[in-house]
Amino acid sequence: MSRPFFREFLRAPLTVGAVRPSGRALAEVATAAVPATGAPVVVELGPGTGAFTGPIQRRLAGSGRHIAVELNPRFAGRLATLHPAVTVAVADAAALRDVLAERGIDRVDVVVSGLPWAAFGESAQRDVLAEVVAALDPAGVFTTFAYVHARWTPPARRLLRSLRSRFEEVVVTRTVWTNLPPALVYVCRRPLPAAAIEQPARLGTVRRSACSA
């Protein structure tokens, strides 16, 4: 177990949301949407101690831009030291567009989230997802993960409904059983315009990948 991560969980369990960082296998699945070519702009929400940061950096291989938005200043400071190529912003994910505007960015290609959705109320969840959708390029991709054992809890079900209402396609990956606890990733493509999100009918599609568990 990562001691810094566990220490921050004890200090602020509602904002850290887990007692240990995500494992390597889950990180590889969650960051697979990051292009390995070109110069993409990638945003990482809630990077914590950097479980997803390293894989994103490896995929970028020195190209593009990588902006990490972390509310916890201790996590942010550690991340900036370990990954000097990453632009680390100490900010709330609900202020994503402000963070990007300060850096001259109006559209991003990929958003990878490590946020503790179970700790978010409905309004906080809605605000963050609205920022993600507004920041994404029309061809952009948003990825986030859920723990298998908690998928049927009200916050997790609300998250999936929210994703379905905001993206044309939501793919559920295979279960990463080696993660503790086991988890899966939601890969969300083609963000819907705000007018479409407000319509209760036709809220997008969900399909499982061929190797889903």
Cα 83 to Cα 40, 41, 80, 108, distances in angstroms:
18, 16, 5, 20
For 30, half-sphere exposure in the C-beta direction (CA atoms, 13 angstrom radius) is 32
Question: Which amino acid, residue 165?
Answer: S
Given this model, what pLDDT does residue 193 score? 84
Band the pLDDT of 40: cuts 50, 70, 90.
very high
Quick one: tokens of 109? 């290609």
Output the CATH code of domain 3-208.
3.40.50.150
Q: Is pLDDT above 50 for 204?
A: no
Domain boundaries defined on the chain: 3-208
Q: Is pLDDT above 50 for 90?
A: yes
Mean pLDDT of 33-49: 96
For 71, half-sphere exposure in the C-beta direction (CA atoms, 13 angstrom radius) is 18
Q: How far is CA 150 from the centre of its chain?
A: 17
Q: For the sheet with 87-90, list strands across it.
A: 87-90, 65-70, 41-45, 108-113, 136-147, 183-191, 167-172, 205-208
Given this model, what pLDDT does residue 71 score? 95
Cβ distance 198 to 192 under 8 Å? no
What percent of the chain lies above the pLDDT cut of 70?
81
Counting Cβ atoms within 10 Å, is residue 197 exposed (0-12), middle (13-18) or buried (19+)?
Answer: middle
Residue listed under structure tokens 């990463």: 176
Mean pLDDT of 10-31: 65
Lowest-confidence region among 32-36, 96-100, 178-182, 193-197:
193-197
Q: Is pLDDT above 90 for 17?
A: no
Band the pLDDT of 6: cuts 50, 70, 90.
very low
Band the pLDDT of 198: cuts 50, 70, 90.
low
For 113, half-sphere exposure in the C-beta direction (CA atoms, 13 angstrom radius) is 26
Nearest-angstrom CA–CA distance, 14 and 193: 31
